[in-house]
Structure formats: C-alpha cells, structure tokens
Amino acid sequence: GAVVSQHPSWVICKSGTSVKIECRSLDFQATTMFWYRQFPKQSLMLMATSNEGSKATYEQGVEKDKFLINHASLTLSTLTVTSAHPEDSSFYICSARDLSGGGPLETQYFGPGTRLLVL
Amino acid sequence: GQQVMQIPQYQHVQEGEDFTTYCNSSTTLSNIQWYKQRPGGHPVFLIQLVKSGEVKKQKRLTFQFGEAKKNSSLHITATQTTDVGTYFCAGRGGTSYGKLTFGQGTILTVHP
C-alpha cells in the first residue's frame, strides 16, 4: 500500500518554542492531507484538512494561528506548532488520501505519527 | 455535527474467544472505514464499507454495514494475541469526499 512518512518521530521542546512536523507521501501524490491529534487512550481528533496550493481548513476549536499548516507540494504538508505549551503535548498524526486507484477508494494512509512533549 | 459512537471502550478476552465492537453514527454515512492501531503505533487501514447491508470478511474478521448506513460492526472469531490493539471505526458523511469522523475506539486485550 501507499506509504506516508512523518518527521520527526519524537520531539521534546521548551515551552514557547515552535516545532515543525513534516508529512510526506512517498509513492503517491496527495492533493489532500489531514492532520490529527491523539491524546493517550483517546481517539483521533481531526485538526485540519490541508489542501495543496490553498489554505487549510481548520476544525472548530483549532486555532489556525497556533497550528500553521503549509501544503506547498503534492507530496509534502507541514504542521508548525507555534509557541508550544505543555498542553500541546500530544501524538500528532497526518494522513494522506490516495485517489490514484491503486487501493480502496478514498483510503487514508496514516503516517507513523510524531510524539510532541513540551516541557 | 456528525458524531460516531463506538462501544465497548475496552474488551478483555481469553485467546480463542470471539470479539465484537460496534459503531453507531448520529447521521447517515456515505461509507465507513475500520482501522487497527497497535500500542505505540499508528492507525492502519483495514477495510471500507460502502453499500447498505454490506458484509465483508478478512480471514477471521467480519465487517458489517447496517441497512440504514448508520451503524457498523467488526467481529473477530477465535481471537489471537496478535489481534491486540485499538480498533477504530471512522465514518464519512455527506459527500464521499467529506472528512472522516473517528469513533472512540475499542481497546482489545487478549490473554493467552
């Protein structure tokens, strides 16, 4: 199946710093990528939908100025957590939709996730 | 907005026993997907159901989509220790290109 990578897999930072997370589709082009956040033993919460070449669509309650999303190419989307605080510590997962016909229609392939710890 | 409820939250079974998790949406879905997330891992796509009343099987796993396209179930026959993980359903409502709404997940533990 399609492969989605994320970098970094782990990041520890000080409160107030910004952290950038990259999501790449390795063997397919993704016009749409999704960013989720998952707290321990909880479900995935969609944060935003990232569309190549246009502004991201944020879910209700997600601050777009705090979680900056850039989808500059068909294989790369980035999520920047600005001025991170301890409550932003979470597991951030991206997914990309492969519409090329190589797999089930509209399947979302998930990246391995990035664990963020803000001290 | 669309809500997807999943039960049970936890399920502990003895190896060899069957397991079922249920998913219920507040709105009619265009399709529903099931994912498995191993401890410390990321969700992995299992299957997608699109048609009303659809039933699909993958070895010991049986997936059903309700006639009203508002509920779904995943049944595992004769569980194995490799089945351990969290099983999520995710519903897509409205147009087929709508966002996925995930259920809370069912954490399955299997005792050998």
For A51-91, how does the pLDDT look when each residue is reduced to its tens digit (9 = 90+)?
888 889 999 899 999 999 998 888 999 999 999 999 999 99
Task: Kindly determine whether residue B97 and residue A45, on different chains, have CB atoms separated by under 8 Å.
Answer: no
pLDDT higher than threshold 60 for residue B37: yes
- What pLDDT does A107 receive? 72
Q: Which two tokens stand for residue B39?
A: 């401890």
> Rounded to whole angstroms, how far apart are CA atoms B4 and B71?
9
Contacts of B52 (CB under 8 A, 6+ apart): B65, B66, B67, B68, B69
A100 touches chain B (CB under 8 A): no
List the beta strands (DSSP E) in chain B: 4-7, 10-14, 19-25, 29-37, 44-49, 55-58, 61-65, 71-76, 85-93, 100-102, 106-111
Give A109's pLDDT tier (boundaries 50, 70, 90). Answer: confident
**A76 vs chain B: nearest CA distance in angstroms?**
19
Q: B62-108 pLDDT, tens per residue?
A: 999 999 999 999 999 999 999 999 999 999 876 545 678 999 999 99
Nearest residue of chain B to residue A108 (CA atoms)? B45
Token match 């069912």: residue? B106
Running DSSP on this structure, what letter comes out for residue B41? S
A5 touches chain B (CB under 8 A): no
- What pLDDT does B35 receive? 94
Give A106's pLDDT tier (boundaries 50, 70, 90). Answer: low
pLDDT higher than threshold 80 for residue A101: no
- What pLDDT does B94 receive? 65
To test the contact with chain A by mutation, choose from B32, B35, B42, B54 the residue with the greatest count of A C-beta atoms within 10 A, namely B42
Strand order through the sheet with A4-7: A4-7, A19-25, A76-81, A67-73
The mean pLDDT of B32-51, rounded to a whole number, is 92
Contacts of B9 (CB under 8 A, 6+ apart): B104, B105, B106, B107
Average pLDDT, chain A: 90
Chain A / chain B CB contacts < 8 angstroms: 53
> Rounded to whole angstroms, how far apart are CA atoms A107 and B4?
18
Read off φ and ψ for residue A16, nearest 5 degrees: 100, -15
Q: Which two tokens stand for residue A43?
A: 């479900």
Task: Kindly determine whether residue B42 and residue A107, on different chains, have CB atoms separated by under 8 Å.
Answer: no
pLDDT higher than threshold 80 for residue B2: no
A106 touches chain B (CB under 8 A): yes
The mean pLDDT of A103-112, rounded to a whole number, is 74
Q: Which two tokens stand for residue B43?
A: 């969700």
Residue B78: left if φ>0, alpha if ψ -120 to 50, beta else—which one?
Answer: left
Considering only CB atoms, which chain B residues are within 8 Å of A102? none
Percentage of chain B surpassing pLDDT 90? 80
Contact between A63 and A71 (Cβ < 8 Å): no
> Which of A49, A109, A113 lies at the smallest CB-CB distance from B45?
A109
pLDDT higher than threshold 80 for residue B47: yes
Give A31's pLDDT tier (boundaries 50, 70, 90). Answer: confident
- What pLDDT does A87 receive? 95
